Amino acid sequence: VSKILVAGSYNEDMTVVSQVLPRSGETVLGASFFAAPGGKGANQAIGAARLGADTTFLVKLGLDPFGDRAQRLFIDEGLPAHGILRTAAAPTGVALIMVDVDGANQISVAPGANGLLMGTDALDGLLRDVSVLLCQLECPPELFESLAHRLPSATKILNPAPARPLRDECFGAIDFLTPNESELASLTGLAVTSDAEVRAASSVLIGKGVGNVIATLGANGALWTNGSQERHFPAPAVVAVDSTGAGDAFNAGLAAALALKWSVADAIELAVRCGAFCVTRTGALDGLPRLDDLQLPVRAR
Ligand code: RIB
């Protein structure tokens, strides 16, 4: 049995769609609003499960209606109940999201219960048969460090979103790091605006002990480097309506394919297709594909 453990966040996503995103201090008139399940951890866990991977999700929710709704969703999506924890100490996480007509977004998260999820919350039974660990940074980085330590033989993926400082010892535990360009810049302190700068920043992280860096580049696909090889994976051209969750769909695809023992190159190709699918749908959850969905509507950009 090969199992994925996704340990991470759930947020209730509150999304306003508007013509343009507001600048600092500005108010713009939005067009529509919707509330939907989200959170990078939840999106990645549901995404991996939808792709057919045996997935367990370790998450902490508040004792509130958002948490109730999330718990029902996880069960409906086939995620096992024993990873779903509830706490009276904090509310369920909330994300305020703004999306413009081109699909670009801005997100601010109040982590709530996500901030209380620790490695010690994972009972030994939850870790049995785990071959792939997938974490993000909406929960404390200690969560990844502790689970990575307890899963020495698992493939460990860290999606460093949102970017936050990592201890030097953390880098050596990461088999696959999946930053976008701004996360790559934050993690290295380097400017990352060109392909050459993506390469340079990725090399710095490899130098710190990361096994593979897969930089996600939006419509430009992804760049994989591991110190000895480098390869660019272009993204299919699609009509983007909302980029929310695209990184999560990518990470879900990567984890699912690695758990299914695909080669790294095939896994990244699937991940890129998952990310491209996601931007063609509104909201994170509807953008998480099943394998059948991946016949993408490809149109010239
Ligand atoms: O990656 C998209 C997610 O980021 C949203 O669902 C939101 O909850 C934020 O966590």
Q: What is the pLDDT of residues 98-138, one digit of tens each?
A: 999 888 899 999 999 999 999 999 999 999 999 999 999 99
b/e per residue 238-277 (b: at least 16 CB within 10 A) = bebbbbbbbbbbbbbbbbbbbbbebebeebbbbbbbbbbb
The CA 39 to ligand 1 mean position distance, Å, reads: 4
Q: Provide the pLDDT confidence category of residue 299 given band limits of 50, 70 and 90.
A: very low
pLDDT at 296: 56
Is-contact 277 289, C-beta < 8 A? Answer: yes
Rounded average pLDDT over 140-150: 98
Residue 194: CB atoms within 10 A of its CB come to 10
The pLDDT value given to residue 297 = 52
pLDDT digits (tens, 9 = 90+) for 43-80: 999 999 999 999 999 999 999 999 999 999 999 999 99
Ligand 1 atom nearest residue 93's Cα: 8
Percentage with pLDDT > 70 across the chain = 98
Q: What is the mean pLDDT of the chain?
A: 95
Going by pLDDT thresholds of 50, 70 and 90, the confidence category of residue 300 is: very low
Cα of 14 vs centre of ligand 1, distance in Å, is: 10
Predicted local distance difference test score (pLDDT) of residue 116: 98
Which ligand 1 atom sits nearest the alpha carbon of residue 39?
8
CA gap 299, 297 in Å, rounded: 6
User: What does the pLDDT look like over 211-244, one tens digit per residue?
Assistant: 999 999 999 999 999 999 999 999 999 998 889 9
Residue 110's Cβ-side half-sphere holds a number of Cα atoms within 13 Å equal to 10
The residues carrying an active-site annotation are 248
Q: Mean pLDDT over residues 84-105, rounded? A: 95
Nearest to 34 by CA among 17, 21, 20, 18: 17
93 lines ligand 1 (CB under 6 A): no
